[in-house]
Amino acid sequence: MSAPTRIPAWLAQLYPFSPHSLTTPAGARMSYLDEGPRNDEAVLMLHGNPTWSFYYRELVQALSPRVRCVAPDHIGMGLSEKPQDYDYSLERRIADVEHLVAELDLRKIHLVVHDWGGAIGFGFAARHPELIGRIVVLNTAAFASEHIPGRIALCKAPVIGPLLVRGFNGFAWPATWMSMHRRALSADEKRGFLFPYDSWANRVAVSAFVQDIPMSPQHRSWRTLQGVEQGLLRFRAHSALVIWGGRDFCFNDHFLERWRTALPAADVHRIADAGHYVLADANTEVIPKIVSFLAG
């Protein structure tokens, strides 16, 4: 099944881009933004679950006049194709990003990662450390953890989990208000976040992302995530910026402390009253900091 390629007028007001696309080695169409100067240096923005490149729209608009911005929609997410039988694993996600970077012939990459984008982005970075420049971390993880909120554990449960996530939109929809604390999303912002996820079929990867959270060594993505965590050692001295929403119900301060250890050279900004969607919740404060860090 293919995602819609036509962007309705109301969405174009918030997401004023013309996405590009390519086919991954596994045979699915990936949609991605490629805005700004065309050179081999770019800011690569990787979203998590249940967002899409829409999450980065304001940052792309602010940064692209000065720096190339590339923001893919992971397969099954956003405007990318949503095959029902894709290998929705962490390993495949990393390989898809590798393919995108190779196809665009990017030689220097500054990473911005959020939510599952952290594991995917640092998984890519560990395999290509020579490409990585500056790093921005936004409420994410790139390491195994025993911490999982009860509501996410419920969405991960067999049978009832997919029913909640795919049948009742019980993951993407609650995120539009549970992930915000400083302000509420406008009606059209909520519509934008939910636009790609309007049916059981179109929520396939929202559910698959939850199912792919490895909580034990028996999980298929456990070894991949271990490799991602070990790869963090390569970036301890890198120039990094950590911006953290202190009211995140999922990636709480336990994860922030792990980032302080993993990236001891990072400049850390904890925003006490911002939620999981920190880039949206504290946009007027956060976006100028990121622009200054990446383009200054």
What is the pLDDT at residue 1? 36
Q: Is the residue at 104 inside a domain?
A: yes
Q: Is the residue at 23 inside a domain?
A: yes
What pLDDT band is residue 5 in, cutting at 50, 70 and 90? low
Exposure of 268 by Cβ count < 10 A (0-12 exposed, 13-18 middle, 19+ buried)? middle
Strand 29-35 versus strand 20-23 pairing type: antiparallel
What are 263-275's pLDDT values in tens digits? 999 999 999 999 9
Q: Is the residue at 203 inside a domain?
A: yes
Please report which helix (H) or strand (E) contains residue 155, including its range: helix 150-156
Q: Is the residue at 74 inside a domain?
A: yes
What are 85-99's pLDDT values in tens digits? 999 999 999 999 999
pTM for the model: 0.97
Q: Is the residue at 3 inside a domain?
A: no
What are 121-134's pLDDT values in tens digits? 999 999 999 999 99
Beta strands in 101-174 (DSSP E): 108-115, 132-140
| Residue whose entry in the numeric block shows the structure tokens 């993407």 | 172
**Quick one: average pLDDT of 40-47?**
98
**Quick one: average pLDDT of 47-71?**
98
Question: What's the structural domain count of the chain?
Answer: 1
Q: Is the residue at 4 inside a domain?
A: no
Residues of the chain with pLDDT > 70: what percent?
A: 98
Strand order in the sheet with 29-35: 20-23, 29-35, 68-72, 41-46, 108-115, 132-140, 240-245, 267-271
Strand-pair partners of 29: 23
Residues of the chain with pLDDT > 90: what percent?
A: 94
Q: Is the residue at 95 inside a domain?
A: yes
Count, residues in the chain: 296
- Give the domain CATH number at 63: 3.40.50.1820
Residue 140's domain comprises 9-295
Q: Is the residue at 1 inside a domain?
A: no
